[in-house]
Chain A
C-alpha cells in the first residue's frame, strides 16, 4: 500500500532525473549555483575591467594603440577572457531561464537548451578570436 506507492514515486523520480539528464546532464540546482557564481565572478572582473579604463581619460583609453597595448598584456587578456566566459555563461543561462518559462513543449525545451549552449560557445569563440588575434598584433 503506502510503501508501494512511495516506491512508485521513487521510480518515477528516477525516470524524471534520467529524462532530465538526457538534455542537460546537470541538476537545476547545480546550474543555478553556476549562475550565481558566474554572476558574482563577473562582478569582480568587470570591476577591474572598468577600473583599467578609468586610469586614463576615457577617450584616450579608446585609442587603437592603447587598446591593443592592453590586449598584449597577458594578464589583461586573461581577464578579458574570463569576463567573456563568465558573462556568456551567466547571461545565456539567464536567457534560458526566461525562455523555459515561456513555453513548455518538449521541442521548445530541447531547442532552448541547444540554442543556449550553441550561443554560449559561439560568443565565447568569437570573443576569444578577437583576444587572440589582438594579443598577437605587432604594432607597426
Chain B
C-alpha cells in the first residue's frame, strides 16, 4: 500500500487491477529478451531459533538469475540449490494454492510463489519470515497456534445429519447458488497466515483468533447447511474474540485469495449485534435413496454371490 513511502513495491489496493496491465507490458517488453538474463540480489533473513532461542538474526545476500516469470520462490530455491543449501524455507505447490510460502517480501506479507520478481521494481529483494508467528528457522515459522485458533472457532458443519454412516443412503442437500455465494468467498482461504501476520491486534493479543479463524467462523455461520448458529456466536463473543477486530483492514489488503476476511468479520458482527436481516434457511434435504436402482442391483448381485 503506497501512502507515504515512495517505494513502488508496496501494494496498492486500488491499483491491483493494474496488475494485469503490468503483466502484459512486462510480457511485451521482455518477450525477446528472455535469453539475456538479468540478475538480482536476494536478501534472506537467517535465524535458527529452535537450536538457540536467543539467536541473533542476520541477513545473507545472494545473487540470483531472473527471467520474466521467475517468482521469489524460484529465486529462493535457486539460491538454496546452488549457493547455500541450508536456507530454511517452506514450500509445496508453487501455484498459490497450498499456503506454505507466506513470507514478508520487501516489507509486505505475500506468497513467495505468487510474487514475480519482475513485479517488484527493486533490485534487492528482502525476504523475512512472517511476523506474529514464532520463528523456527530462517523463513520458516511456527503455525501451530494459528491452526489452534482455526480449530477453536469450530470450523465444521454442525448438524444432526452431518454424518451419513449408512453407505446406502444417498441424501443430497439442495442449496441455491445464491446461498452458496454467501460463503463461497470465505471458503477459499488457503490458511497462508498472511492476514494473521498483518493484523495489528494479532501483533499483541495472543488470544485473538485472528482474521483467518474469524472469517472461517463466518463461513460456517453463513452456510445454510449448518444448524448450530447460536453456539457459534457464543464462542467468539468473548473478551478476546471478534470484538478485538477494529477493522484495520490489513487482513483484506494482504490476502492473496480475495477472501476478504475483514468483510466476514464485520458481517458476523452484524449477526452478533442482532441487526442483520439476512436470515438463514437450512438447506433442504432431498432423499434419493428410494429411486436408486443400482443399489438394489448391487444387493441382488451380492445375494447371487452368496449362493
Q: Do A and B touch, yes or no (CB under 8 Å, in the complex)?
A: yes
Summarize B's interface: helix, strand, loop or mixed: loop
Q: Choose among B154, B163, B205, B234 the residue that contacts A101 (Cβ–Cβ < 8 A).
A: B205
A1-41 interface code vs B (CB 8 A; 1 in, 0 out): 11000100110010011001000100111011100000000
Query: Across the two chains, which residue of chain B brings its CB closest to A9?
Result: B154
Query: Across the two chains, which residue of chain B brings its CB closest to A102?
Result: B204
Is B238's beta carbon under 8 Å from chain A? yes
Instruction: Report the Cα distance A109→B242, complex, angstroms.
Output: 17
Q: Choose among B154, B235, B240 the residue that contacts A100 (Cβ–Cβ < 8 A).
A: B240
Q: Choose among B158, B206, B241, B273 the residue that contacts A104 (Cβ–Cβ < 8 A).
A: B206
Is B231's beta carbon under 8 Å from chain A? yes
Q: Which of A10, A27, A29: most chain B Cβ within 10 A? A: A29
Instruction: Report the Cα distance A104→B145, complex, angstroms.
Output: 15
Is A97's beta carbon under 8 Å from chain B? yes
Task: Check A28–B238 contact: CB distance below 8 A.
Answer: yes
Contacts of B154 in A (CB 8 A): 9
Contacts of B244 in A (CB 8 A): 97, 100-101
Q: Choose among A2, A10, A27, A97 the residue that contacts B237 (Cβ–Cβ < 8 A).
A: A27
Task: Check A29–B204 contact: CB distance below 8 A.
Answer: no
B213-238 interface code vs A (CB 8 A; 1 in, 0 out): 00000000000000010010011011
Is B167's beta carbon under 8 Å from chain A? no
Instruction: Report the Cα distance A15→B93, complex, angstroms.
Output: 41
Taking Cβ atoms with an 8 Å cutoff, the residues of B that contact A are 154, 158, 162-163, 201, 204-208, 228, 231, 234-235, 237-244, 272-273
Q: 9 interchain pairs (CB within 8 A)?
A: A2-B163, A6-B158, A10-B231, A20-B239, A32-B243, A100-B239, A101-B244, A102-B204, A104-B205
Instruction: Report the Cα distance A103→B237, complex, angstroms.
Output: 19
A42-59 interface code vs B (CB 8 A; 1 in, 0 out): 000000000000000000
Summarize A's interface: helix, strand, loop or mixed: helix
Given known pairs A28-B243, A101-B244, A109-B239, the reply for A13 and B234 (CB within 8 Å) is: yes
Contacts of A31 in B (CB 8 A): 243
Residue tally, chain A, CB below 8 Å to B: 23
Query: Across the two chains, which residue of chain A brings its CB closest to B205?
Result: A101
Task: Check B208–A13 contact: CB distance below 8 A.
Answer: no
Query: Across the two chains, which residue of chain A brings its CB closest to B272?
Result: A29
Contacts of B205 in A (CB 8 A): 100-102, 104
Task: Check A16–B239 contact: CB distance below 8 A.
Answer: no
Query: Across the two chains, which residue of chain A brings its CB closest to B202?
Result: A101
Q: Using a CB-CB cutoff of 8 Å, which residues 97-122 of chain A contact chain B? A: 97, 100-104, 109
Instruction: Report the Cα distance A109→B208, complex, angstroms.
Output: 14
Q: Which of B158, B162, B237: most chain A Cβ within 10 A? A: B237
| Smallest CB-CB A-B distances: 4 pairs | A101-B205, A104-B206, A28-B243, A29-B272
Distance from B4 Cβ to chain A, minimum over Cβ atoms (Å): 24
Task: Check A29–B273 contact: CB distance below 8 A.
Answer: yes
Distance from A120 Cβ to chain B, minimum over Cβ atoms (Å): 17
Task: Check B237–A104 contact: CB distance below 8 A.
Answer: no
Contacts of B208 in A (CB 8 A): 101
Contacts of A109 in B (CB 8 A): 239
Distance from A112 Cβ to chain B, minimum over Cβ atoms (Å): 10
Query: Across the two chains, which residue of chain A brings its CB closest to B239?
Result: A28
Distance from B307 Cβ to chain A, minimum over Cβ atoms (Å): 36
Task: Check B273–A33 contact: CB distance below 8 A.
Answer: yes
Given known pairs A9-B154, A101-B204, the reply for A29 and B231 (CB within 8 Å) is: no
Q: Known pairs A2-B163, A28-B241, A97-B243. 10 more at Cβ < 8 A?
A: A6-B228, A9-B154, A10-B231, A17-B234, A28-B238, A29-B237, A101-B201, A104-B206, A104-B240, A109-B239
